[in-house]
Chains A and B, each alone.
Chain A
Amino acid sequence: MEIISYIVWGFNALILFYFLLICSIYIILNIVAFFKMIRYNRTIKYLDLKRVFKLTNYKAISVIVPAYNEENGIVESLKSLLQLEYPDFQLVVVNDGSTDNTLQKLFENFSIRQVSFTPFYKLKSQQIRSVYMSSEYPNLIVIDKVNGGKADAINAGINLAKSPLIAVIDADSVLERDCLLKIVRPFMEDENVIAVGGTIRIANGSNILHGNIVDVGLSKSWLARFQVVEYLRAFLFGRNGFDVLNGILIISGAFSCFSRDALIKIDGYRAGCIGEDMEIIVRMHRKLRKENPKLRITFIPDPVCWTEAPETFKVLRSQRMRWQKGTVDSILLHKKLFMNPAYGWIGMLVFPYFALFEMLGPVIEIFGYFFFIISFSFGFVTLSFAVAFLTTAILYGVVLSVLSVILEELSFQRYPKLSQLLTLMAAAFLENFGYRQLTTWWRFRGMFEYFTGKRHWGQMEKKGFAK
């Protein structure tokens, strides 16, 4: 009995150590990100970016927009995208075999006409049926192709993109007008940069007019509010912190920017992959940075893109399960990186972190909670241990969530009203009592489904922005 008691105690202590470790890593990332952002903001505060672009050898960008059954929002989205501030960009819309009237809407609204075409590159993609250009907007190109999924559509877009830089965005993303000016800066400053990501924010509750954010607001749904805090945590200090180690392993598919040459070298996106946005970055580290360790995949903290968050449990569950499958898929596909000194920080620290905390995290946490409840009920752990466990597992999380809101307030201050700030603080507190555990459970289920063979993408319903 004594041995069992020791084993149970030991297991609980391990779980406690796990929670302590992950939260402490986050605290360190938070501190690193805080100083990085202070420096970043001070450095660019008085620089007029638009003026710089008139002077320098700026690089042209092709913005690829994969679209599948987007008839409701595509016109507004493209009109907004065509207004982006950048001296030389091309918009490449890829109609990925939509079964609705997406292509028809483009005909009606953008005066597109068929042109002769030849792909410049040979990335694998489904057959391209036709290519169109707009006589009204000379920088708009529409590719109509057989359905093949998002990664396949992006590859088709890359094959016909003219510019040395490629930005990939979701058709329903709302971009900041100066997002291209900001995202391209790292490429201009350092020729070793091959990919750049920016901060994605939640648009629910904001006032969006003609595809532009007019007033930043918060949704009335607490589910969406919790996600606002989650995104702040993930982007403001998660990615910012890892960036210091050149350790970005994921750039959101909602908005990312790449060097075209780098994309071509790694044969573009992997079609049929569940989490293509993470997979491509991990592959870039694996294939390109091994050849040239100076290459950088980096991140800018500026909010560049706004996206719609799920407001129902059903859709959120589906999203989180899909994300988890994507994470597992990418990590297992590139397991060679794990603890591999040939890949430097990525192999020895960042990849193991993702494997342990992002991939296996839900399993450890779910078993940990379950085991703790059983152990406590049967008196295997002391009251002081129980308090320590709950404090670490929950209250440490509160500290991190609140810190991320503070970081937003001290840096970008995008939520203008005091009531919004207080609501976010409340959400940062409350999300640790139920919401975080629920998402962990969904991620656990996602992993279970992945290993039991259910690796399909699933449906993502979106309500759409009202205006």
Chain B
Amino acid sequence: MFIHLDIFGFLALTIFSLLTLVYLLVVQVVLLRLLHGYRAKQKQKFIAVWEERVFNYLENNEKPELLIKKIQRRKYRYLLHYLREFLLMLKGDDFDRLSALINQTKIQPFLISRLKSGSPRKINEAAYFLGLAKSGAARNILRKKLRSQNASVFLSSALALARLNDIEVVFEIFRNAYRFKFVSKDSLLVIMSEFSSDICEVLLQNLKKEKNALIQSITITLFRHFKYYPAGEIVLKIAVYSQNKEVTIESIKYFTSIEFLKAANALRALINSPKAEIRAEVLKALAVLGDSSFEQRIWDRMYDSEYEVQYNAVTTLMILIPGSEEKISQFAYGNLKDRAAAIVRMVLSERSIKS
């Protein structure tokens, strides 16, 4: 039997079909939730049993493959998620023993097979755990995954390679990161900071010719993170000539962290930068790197238009110039109508409460 439908009937039918489709989705979502709940319970049960076994394994000399033999393949993921926090926190022998549970057992081929799968979810998870366990066997596959068109696959592979301290791929990571809108400076920093401090030497050689401000900024941040002193001279040149605010600020922070006294002269020029954030950072740095020859320049900054700069000027003067507190008070309370003096009064008032 054929039913004749006019345009309105057809419209109503379409929406009814859409509604039916949505309710099928609802059923699927509910089923997924039930499955999720079931798995959560299974995981709880698993952990209740395995918590003690893992601790016994760490204390005794049990072979990893003997322990893993007791787990069904489908429950490997429960163990991996249980181990996650420990693998992140532990170092030394305990880390080696735990990572052996992955690297010297059937879990490693299990993860590598997932790494080779087509599903980004499976790849991300496998890459994460293989990296966490520093599983060298996955290195070549992970390197190939850096060329993936999927941002999350790229990120998880890069993170895993960083944990494997595969320094050869550092610049491939930078190059590939540009393909993705979602890969930001902080994502790259998280990845790069997972390498060992050996990365600094490679980055330093690159910094000498690097023109990209983002890579310069990340590199200098990493030097600060690893407190890498040998880069001081090169970073100083960059700090003086860079037009990029982030690069300059990162450089100043780096000089402060390694107490690079040679940077003091460069700071003399930057103290008058048109960018308030740079002026504020310079004043903070001068508390560590400056000397009494900066006194007048710092006083001038008391009249700055930005509060943060004024605040740092007062604080730095107090640290750098012995006995300056009295002079500052005289300035603050001797010029009651002056705006700069009013700000200094505020800073002093805040400091007195904080102390």
Interface residues of A (CB under 8 A from B): 16, 20, 39-40, 42-43, 45-49, 51-52, 55-57, 113, 115-118, 120, 133-135, 138, 162, 164, 185, 188-189, 382, 384-385, 387-389, 391-392, 395-396, 398-399, 402-403, 406, 409-410, 418, 421-422, 425
Residue of B at shortest CB range from A161? B307
Nearest Cβ on chain A to B65's Cβ, whole angstroms: 28
* Residue count of chain B within 8 Å CB distance of chain A: 59
Q: Find B346's partner among A49, A116, A421 (CB 8 Å cutoff).
A: A116
* Given A384-B8, A384-B9, A387-B8, 9 other A-B residues pairs in contact with their CB atoms under 8 A: A39-B152, A55-B186, A133-B350, A395-B15, A395-B19, A396-B18, A399-B18, A402-B22, A403-B25
Q: Are A388 and B8 in contact (CB under 8 A)?
A: yes
Q: Find A388's partner among B12, B26, B30 (CB 8 Å cutoff).
A: B12
With contact pairs A43-B152, A52-B190, A418-B33 given, residues A391 and B353 touching in the complex (Cβ less than 8 Å): no
Q: Are B33 and A421 in contact (CB under 8 A)?
A: yes
Contacts of A409 in B (CB 8 A): 29, 32-33
Contacts of A388 in B (CB 8 A): 8-9, 11-12
> B174 in the interface, Cβ–Cβ < 8 Å?
no
> B173 in the interface, Cβ–Cβ < 8 Å?
no
> B114 in the interface, Cβ–Cβ < 8 Å?
no
Q: Are B189 and A52 in contact (CB under 8 A)?
A: yes
Nearest Cβ on chain A to B336's Cβ, whole angstroms: 11
> B128 in the interface, Cβ–Cβ < 8 Å?
yes
Nearest Cβ on chain B to A294's Cβ, whole angstroms: 14
Q: B52-60, B289-297, B337-345: which lies at the A interface?
A: B337-345
Number of A-B contacts (CB under 8 A): 146
Contacts of B178 in A (CB 8 A): none
Nearest Cβ on chain B to A182's Cβ, whole angstroms: 12
CA distance A422 to B23 in the complex (A): 12
> B86 in the interface, Cβ–Cβ < 8 Å?
no
Q: Are A115 and B350 in contact (CB under 8 A)?
A: yes
Nearest Cβ on chain B to A157's Cβ, whole angstroms: 14
* Interface SS majority for chain A: helix
CA distance A384 to B5 in the complex (A): 9
Q: Are B11 and A399 in contact (CB under 8 A)?
A: no
Nearest Cβ on chain A to B129's Cβ, whole angstroms: 11
**Cβ proximity bits B1-23 to A, threshold 8 Å, 1 near / 0 not:** 00001101101100110110011
Residue of B at shortest CB range from A57? B249
Q: Are B34 and A418 in contact (CB under 8 A)?
A: yes
Q: Find B8's partner among A51, A120, A382, A398 (CB 8 Å cutoff).
A: A382
* B11, B156, B185, B193, most chain A CB atoms within 10 A: B11
Nearest Cβ on chain B to A301's Cβ, whole angstroms: 13
Q: Are B185 and A188 in contact (CB under 8 A)?
A: yes
With contact pairs A56-B185, A395-B16 given, residues A162 and B26 touching in the complex (Cβ less than 8 Å): no
CA distance A133 to B155 in the complex (A): 44
Contacts of B25 in A (CB 8 A): 402-403, 406
Residue of B at shortest CB range from A118? B342
